[in-house]
Structure 1
């Protein structure tokens, strides 16, 4: 998983379908059946992908070669797209948007049957796969993510040990104390905001559910105030504010650099960043290139517990779907099933497998050993949350308001943090009322 993936997960998640009208396909409600006999499946399929890096370095071609060992009569071609969201949105105003594609976040959930063929019932697929609820419409599933991720703090274990902190903090206060120890006992920047690149700030919304250990966290956003006292986003945003306000970040957040931050964390010049499990492999790679020890890269959950247990929310990457207009739906479905179950894509990216019975990746071994509870959020109210977010212009999946929060915390703008967060809550709940939520 790379930066573009997370941009799609976070910033892209707030987009609505205002600019995508589609063609009103006459094949609405079509199914992409799983093939019974691989030897009889044939045709050439085009797979649209945001993973241009894997197309360019030949990795996707290797996956296709392995796929052909099972499906010899299917030819797989890849179309790697840099501006995936923007370009695919335009293509979807026609019927020519590949045979297999990652579902652009611009498409509203209710419109999935217009654009994609069903992969089967949610009741059946949910027994085997994670994340089925994210693409379910009227009981049918229209997409499947090939991997998942968990939110958490990427940290340099060596630096934290040098500061005398060997156990994961269990409260925001303990976490702040750990960062203060790093500042006083090491030369590392305790926390790095990645303010200038913006998108990492939107990752803080992923704390929802992890703080409260509540699988209904998305429903709470749709029905309540995300910044009420003790609510997930109130706790997360207050922690971010306090980290900055206490001077535990880089000297000038406006000069941060995402790419440069990776080797700095790997070498111990930066101690901590809030990102997700997807970033571990990137930090380990940076460590190898910098001559540092990849084993120094750690991953810890948000500092909050329920009943003495940490919780972490699992979330899907882009969901693969079959174009409802495809002439080779069976071959396209074969690719999705194989890529999800047999390709090793999740393992190659040290990511969470979409298969419920698959073991956790090695990077999450500490989570398993510590008994961290993994949650899959109920996304049945996800579309309502996006509508409220869009109409209110709060932007919980965008970086803007957290840039304002950081500026507030570092004194670059005037204001009180409680008033600021209360104001977000008022805008949110007023919009709820106007939409009848």
Structure 2
């Protein structure tokens, strides 16, 4: 199983917090899952729902549970891996049976978290200890902790780029395009791969809002922007780069034939050079390199090609948030699992991801970011509700692939229209939607 769910979850956080909530058997609000003062005294059997079917099937989660039991010896942890996680859990949340610990489905509106999940404590106390608490903060209480975080950027084959004569990260969109042209001219690799057919990879651009301007509040500012695609804006720069890449024939010949799973082997073997994805993808591409008998160290990760005051910036977004069901009969054990998994399991480092605990070290896969002074910014979600409302009313879908698929089709000439006109139309729809939703 690939990590598509990770990418989608991280990106949907931009737009899904006001999605239609589950309805049905919601419990009274206000219950809390307090942290245990004596882990050895906590007991009970808990069920953890997870979308990571791969880690359950290969025994990895069982190993984590064994380590957890060193600290919580009287707690039995059972895992329930769900392939169609979003679809099935959304339905189950109409009942009281949705596990003791679960990843919060994107269909649950943020305002409804207190009806389904137990509070983990005050935002004031937890925000200093953990990243991304703003995503589950309702009225000053936190209802979930991210399993890991994800940085935006480009996965690339360093050996291919070096063969093309490019060893330093491009600092501007034009330098990036020049690098892709060098790859095309000097190697046999496809410079850039859109993963167009699988659709969801195209949403990676949205995760980078703020990386161009080096502004953690960039997504929030969309709530008051009349022209998000104006020249020089984050969305303008991000989407223009994609358009230019395709228009200048630096991507695969036929994007309708791309394949996500196949792309891992292609980049690992140096048959394609670059893909825009989150940092979660690095470990997958390195694993593919091992399988192909290639050097995993050839797989690198570069920041978006833009700098502010001479420095790169990368936006951090959370993966699924782990929460305690308000119906759990063993909330102390469930909370114990979340605390241990977030702070002690080493899961983030093992997955090559950014740890939720602020005290956690960055994974080895992101050491180049650390060594080169890339500024990591935690995306603000303070105005997500307003942004989501505007986006929905405008029917654009910032975290959906459709509008970028149209952009790619325009760039390759199978759909009419200019980029300038397209941006103008997006701005018009956004501006009108902002007026419609004002005060709602």
Task: Return the match for 1:239 from 238, 241, 246.
Answer: 241
Q: Is the 8 A contact 1:278 1:349 kept in 2?
A: yes
Alignment of 1:101-120 (within 5 A): 101-120=102-121
TM-score normalised by length of structure 1: 0.97
Taking the TM superposition and a 5 Å limit, the aligned residue runs for 1:262-411 are: 262-411=264-413
In structure 1, the residue matched to 2:182 is 181
Per the alignment, in what secondary structure is the counterpart of residue 315 of structure 1?
strand
- What is the CA-CA distance between 1:61 and the residue it aligns to? 1.1
- The 8 Å contact of residues 85 and 104 in structure 1, kept in 2 or not, is answered as yes
Q: CA deviation at 1:265?
A: 0.6
Distance 2:63 2:397 in 1: 39
- Distance (Å, rounded) in 1 between the aligned partners of 2:230 and 2:41: 57
Q: Distance in 2 between matches of 1:429 and 1:134?
A: 25
Provide the C-alpha distance between the structure 2 equivalents of 1:17 and 1:226, rounded to a whole number of angstroms: 22
**Structure 1 residue aligned with 2:213:** 212
Which shows bigger deviation, 65-74 or 398-407? 65-74
Aligned-CA RMSD value: 1.3
Say which SS state the counterpart of residue 20 (structure 2) adopts.
helix
8 Å CA contact 1:30–1:117 kept in 2: the answer is yes
Matches within 5 A, 1:96-135: 96-135=97-136
Distance 2:356 2:418 in 1: 42
Residue 34 of structure 2 is matched in structure 1 by 33
Write out per-residue CA displacement over residues 236-295 of structure 1, whole angstroms, 9 at most, x where no aligned residue.
001000000000011111111111111111111101000011000000000011111111
Do the aligned partners of 1:108 and 1:383 also contact (CA within 8 Å) in 2? no
Whether 1:43 aligns to 2:44 is: yes
1:12 and 1:110 mapped to 2: Cα distance?
A: 14
Q: Quote how far apart the aligned CAs of 1:13 are.
A: 5.4
Q: Does 1:227 align with 2:225?
A: no
Residue pair 2:21, 2:109 contacting (<8 A) in 1 also: no
Q: Measure the CA separation in 2 of the matches of 1:19 and 1:205.
A: 23
The alignment partner of 2:280 has SS state of helix
2:199 and 2:130 mapped to 1: Cα distance? 32
Query: Structure 2 length normalisation: TM-score?
Result: 0.97
Superposition deviation, residue 358 in structure 1: 1.9
Equivalent residues of 1:196, 1:253 under 8 A apart: yes
The answer to whether the 8 Å contact 1:146/1:319 transfers is yes
> 3-state SS of the aligned residue for 2:376?
strand
Provide the C-alpha distance between the structure 2 equivalents of 1:424 and 1:272, rounded to a whole number of angstroms. 27
Q: Secondary structure at the match of 1:77?
A: strand
Is the Cα contact below 8 Å between 1:100 and 1:332 reproduced in 2? yes
1:11, 1:162 → 2: CA distance? 37
Q: Is the Cα–Cα contact under 8 Å of residues 12 and 106 in structure 1 kept in the other structure?
A: no
Pair 1:95-2:108 in alignment:
no
Is the Cα contact below 8 Å between 2:89 and 2:105 reproduced in 1? yes
Q: Whole-Å Cα distance in 1 between the matches of residues 66 and 21 of structure 2? A: 37
Aligned residues: 436
Cα distance in 2 for residues equivalent to 1:133 and 1:3: 23
Q: Distance in 2 between matches of 1:11 and 1:103?
A: 12
SS at match of 2:77: strand
The 3-state SS of whatever aligns with 1:151 is strand
Give 1:7 shift: 2.3
* 2:194 pairs with 1:193: yes
Corresponding residue SS for 1:18? coil
CA contact (8 A) 2:189 2:270 kept: yes
What SS does structure 1 have at the residue aligned with 2:152? coil
Match of 2:68 in 1: 67
1:84 maps to 85
Give a deviation string over 1:174-197, Cα, whole Å, max 9, x none: 111111111111111000011111
